[in-house]
Chain A
Amino acid sequence: MENRILKIEDFSAGYGNLTILKNINLEISKNKITAIMGPSGCGKTTLIRCINRMHELKKDAFHYGKIYLENENIFNMNPVILRRKVGMVFQKPNPFPHMSIYENVLAGYLINGIKLKKAEKDIIVEETLKKVALWDEVKDKLYLRGTYLSGGQQQRLCIARTLALKPEILLLDEPTSSLDPKSTFEIERLLEKLKENLTIIIVTHNISQASRISDYVAFLYLGELVEFGKSEKVFTSPTNKKTEEYLSGKFG
């Protein structure tokens, strides 16, 4: 496989005595968008939360197997460092309610006590907000609370907050499911641009969204990876019967 950045190897995970993910093997290519699809409850969220070790924060969470980020097993890494390299954007836009737009972009630095000069901060904020195409809309109100923005703007702000830390991988968990079509379209366009310098893994329920933006598709069913391949191929001729049924809208 061309330029692999992440390798998931014989990986299982779950809660207590409930196994959610069953023996997943998956390789993620650098600077591509990989969509993770599947009916709800199949373990998509659980899978991407394992990639930045957020899964282990849940009660009774367990996992077996290995995940390599550029040949280093993430479970041997310091999770705090890992999470700066593998950023995450959640389903619901969640800017920090006590911080301004400006501070939200810099949250990863400010809260961690990483000292920056004012000029450096200004540059990071402007560059990052431009990356997420939010700069023109907010440049005159950077000192307003992040929560004053619209849902779509908030979600772009959250993407900016993650991007400000210059991650290698961006995980997105149904980032547009609470947004209107216009904001959804804007975020899709944004992701296509971001992949020039970033690897993106996006969980989505939206089949047309996946076919519009993804280079690869992984299809999960009942915690197993039943199909994985280039998007053109999976969407036109899936090999697995479940994938075919899902893509034709038989279940969701």
Chain B
Amino acid sequence: MKIFKDRIFKFLIIIFTIISILPLFFIFFIILKKGLSVINLNFLLSLPKPPGETGGGILNAIVGTFLLIFIASLISIPLGIFLGIFLYEYKKRKIGEICYIFIDVLQGIPSIVIGIVAYIWIVKKMGHFSAFSGGFALFLILLPIVIKSTKETLDMIPFDLIETSLSLGITYPRTILKVVLPCGMSGMMSGILVGIGRISGETAPLLFTAFGSPFLNLNILKPISSLPHLIFTYTMSPYDDWHRQAWGCALLLIMIILSLNIISKIIVKKWKIEF
């Protein structure tokens, strides 16, 4: 009887696993099938042709995505790590708990709403769309991710380690900086990479902030394209060649996100510190 139950259980697990992985395989399959033939050096390194013409590439979107990620990371990573340490320090006090709830709420805000906020705060004030406003929207999405991954990693570090450091006549700030942070580094880094993967696929908050642009642009005060945004506009367009290119773009985006996730796993494995 017990063996029979075990078997049924195993069978169910396998079935449900297959059911849950299946959609993933379909997505990969269709994107690979449609996207692989589109990607080549010319596609990656040239700018779009005017609407309706065939050919051209997505260099503007690749550069745009990296610039947007750069803007968002530049502020949210240092600020997020700092706030994460603050929350870790104040976790036992009311103020820390309250802040943590706010961070949770911030993380729960739909990205389209964040886009509207960035639109009202920045686009409206400046009077035009810009890479900066898009980067700001992504910053608001990345910030709580960095804060939480920092705090949660630090929480896992045993208090014994801190006591050991203090018992050697090491001051508390140096203990945090030179013992706690290095020991949590791999966890924090992997959390940040997963967060960057997340924002690199965001479309909604960019629609009315970064807006999109067919030109190669490095000026953060001007509108800029991005991979997810280009997928959106190309798919909505009436041109077959743009539909084709959207698939190539989707494949590229997925590969970027996938590699970020894989790198973060490797970091955790390679640099993991056993306590």
Contact = CB atoms under 8 A, between A and B. Distances in A.
- Specify whether A and B are partners: yes
Interface of A: 52, 54, 57, 80-84, 87-88, 90, 92, 94, 96-98, 107-108, 110-113, 147, 161-162, 165
Interface of B: 160-161, 163-171, 174-175, 178-179, 182-183, 273-275
Given A94-B161, A108-B168, 11 more contacts: A54-B166, A83-B167, A83-B169, A96-B183, A97-B273, A98-B182, A111-B165, A111-B168, A112-B170, A112-B174, A162-B167
Contact of A90 (B164, B169, B273): B164
Nearest to A110: B178
A52 B166 CA distance: 10
Contacts of A113: 174
B161 A96 contact: yes
A113 B275 CA distance: 24
Contact of B273 (A81, A88, A94, A98): A98
Given A97-B273, A98-B273, A112-B174, A57 B169 contact: no
Contact of B168 (A57, A81, A83, A98): A83
A108 B175 CA distance: 11
A92 B163 CA distance: 12
A78 to B, nearest CB: 9
Given A92-B160, A97-B274, A87 B170 contact: no
A202 B108 CA distance: 53
A56 B42 CA distance: 67
Contacts of A54: 163, 166-167
Nearest to A52: B167
Given A97-B183, A98-B182, A147-B274, A112 B169 contact: yes
Contacts of B166: 54, 57, 83
Nearest to A82: B169
A90 to B, nearest CB: 7
A111 B275 contact: no
Indicate the member of B161, B163, B175 with the most A CB atoms within 10 Å.
B163
- A-B complex: 3 closest residue pairs judged by Cβ atoms: A84-B169, A83-B169, A108-B168
Q: Is the interface of B mostly helix, strand, loop or mixed?
A: helix
A90 B160 CA distance: 9
A80 B161 contact: no
9 contacts: A54-B166, A80-B169, A83-B166, A90-B163, A97-B161, A97-B183, A111-B165, A111-B175, A162-B167
Nearest to B273: A97
B168 to A, nearest CB: 4
Given A98-B182, A111-B175, A161 B168 contact: yes
Nearest to B169: A84
Contacts of B170: 80, 107-108, 111-112
A64 B179 CA distance: 32
A84 B274 contact: no
Contacts of A94: 160-161, 164
A98 B187 CA distance: 13
Contact of B183 (A83, A98, A110): A98
A85 to B, nearest CB: 8
A212 to B, nearest CB: 26
Contacts of B175: 111
A165 B168 CA distance: 8
A57 B175 CA distance: 14
Nearest to A97: B273
Contacts of B168: 83-84, 87, 107-108, 111, 161-162, 165
